[in-house]
Amino acid sequence: MMLEVQNIVKSYELAPLLQGVSFSVASGEVVCLLGRSGSGKSTLLRIIAGLERAEEGKVLWEEQDITDIPVHLRGFGLMFQDYALFPHRSVEQNVSFGLRMQNLPERQIQERTAEMLELVHMSPFAKRKVIDLSGGEQQRIALARSLAPKPKLLMLDEPLGALDRTLKQTLMDDLRQIIRNTRIPAIYVTHDQEEAFSIADRLIMLNDGKIEQVGSPEEVYRRPASLWVANFLGLGNTLPAKVISTTPLILSTSVGDIPLQDRQLSLHKEDELILLLLPEVAGMQINNLPRQKEPDNGFIHLQGIIEESIFVEGKYRIEVKIGQSTLHFISQLRFNHGESISISYPTGELQCLSRTRK
């Protein structure tokens, strides 16, 4: 691993902010710290950069402890949300700033600056003042300035937070491609799930200074490790359940009794748990004709009434009143308000997020 963060502990105004955080970043990997504002993401980034010091823990680079190495000797690049550009300098002067701090030959500075402007598609703007640029253009210049000195590690703190949705989507695509092309390992901090899922190779879910889950975007989405992760990602469809029979295994929920195949949950009668039904899974079928429940065929069969149907990016997000609960699913088909539907949901896709033994 290129970077290792070991057991970082940090407090703020006597309250714990980071509580034993450990993770690593491999060569060429983009790791995203994802969590709510105030969860400790930016503080952790500043500790890695050397701008703040942890109360406990170490930061290692290629197995060497750099905890006491000052920020200017670490060779890391850091891009802030507000970009921190020099308003009195031109675009090319901003991009070349770090190169001049390295006392490189002028020709090398000019070549590297031109290379970076070409990389971020800003070559025609080289002579402009940065105050004459749009927010998206300033973001590109800030990225070029961070990359110009060839940092060993690139760190980005909410780099798209100040941009509108349309511009953000365009720059997300560009940013992902630029980082991939440079092959520089990167840590990307954001509270925006769309950014994280678009850019990261691996997600680190941070909640109140603790890591809740680490995994690829697909792993975290399809198998959230906790109720907090599921709620933060807006997966919804969490159902309290109680075991009312173990042979066969049957759970009592607000949408009716749910028979389960033996999935090695080691459940006992009266155990309480939280079930998660993802809004879109392979094999799920949604039909506008009610159907009879079928016994033990690998599906649970739910019947409900459409409360809302919203067209989103080529599919329909439907809200369905089932029993005492309203669940949401993703459908390829359009349904009308008040329409009765049936949902066949694979039992193998049901997930248990927590369990209380009675």
8-17 pLDDT, tens per residue? Answer: 999 988 888 9
DSSP one-letter code for 185: -
DSSP one-letter code for 74: T
Question: Where is pLDDT greater, at 339 or 80?
Answer: 339
| Burial annotation 29-61 (CB, 10 A radius, 16+ → b, else e) | bbbbbbbeeebbbbbbbbbbbbeeebeebebbb
Instruction: Say how many Å lie between the first and final Cα of the chain, rounded.
Output: 44
Class of domain 3-228: alpha beta
Q: Is the pLDDT of residue 49 over 60?
A: yes
Contact 78, 147 (CB under 8 A): no
Contact 211, 35 (CB under 8 A): no
As a whole number of Å, the CA-based R_g of the chain is: 25
Region 260-285 average pLDDT: 83
CA-CA distance, 125 to 140, in Å (whole number)? 11
> Could you state, in order of their start, the residue ranges of all structural domains in the chain?
3-228, 238-356
Q: Is the pLDDT of residue 358 over 70?
A: no
Q: Which of 171-180, 188-197, 346-355 has the lowest mean pLDDT?
A: 171-180
pLDDT value, residue 139: 83
Task: Read off the pLDDT band of 63 (50, 70, 90).
Answer: very high
CA-CA distance, 303 to 323, in Å (whole number)? 8
CA-CA distance, 31 to 205, in Å (whole number)? 11
Average pLDDT along the chain: 88
pLDDT value, residue 263: 57
CA-CA distance, 209 to 207, in Å (whole number)? 5
CA-CA distance, 285 to 23, in Å (whole number)? 39
- Show the beta-strand stretches assigned E in 222-284: 238-246, 249-253, 256-260, 272-276
Contact 320, 341 (CB under 8 A): yes
pLDDT value, residue 353: 85
Query: How confident is the model over 113-170, as pLDDT tens digits?
Result: 999 999 888 999 999 988 888 888 888 888 889 889 989 999 998 877 666 666 677 7
pLDDT value, residue 200: 92
Task: Read off the pLDDT band of 216 (50, 70, 90).
Answer: very high
Look up tokens 């929920």; give the residue: 253
Annotation: CATH topology of 238-356? OB fold (Dihydrolipoamide Acetyltransferase, E2P) (2.40.50)
Residue among 332, 220, 200, 323 at smallest CA distance from 278:
220
pTM for the structure as a whole: 0.85
CA-CA distance, 65 to 80, in Å (whole number)? 25
Question: Where is pLDDT greater, at 65 or 37?
Answer: 65
pLDDT value, residue 164: 64
| Burial annotation 223-259 (CB, 10 A radius, 16+ → b, else e) | ebbeebbbebbebbbbbebebeeeeebbbebebbebb
Contact 275, 351 (CB under 8 A): yes
- The pair of structure tokens assigned to 295 is 């016994």
List Cα–Cα distances, 331 to 59, 194, 231, in angstroms.
Answer: 46, 20, 21
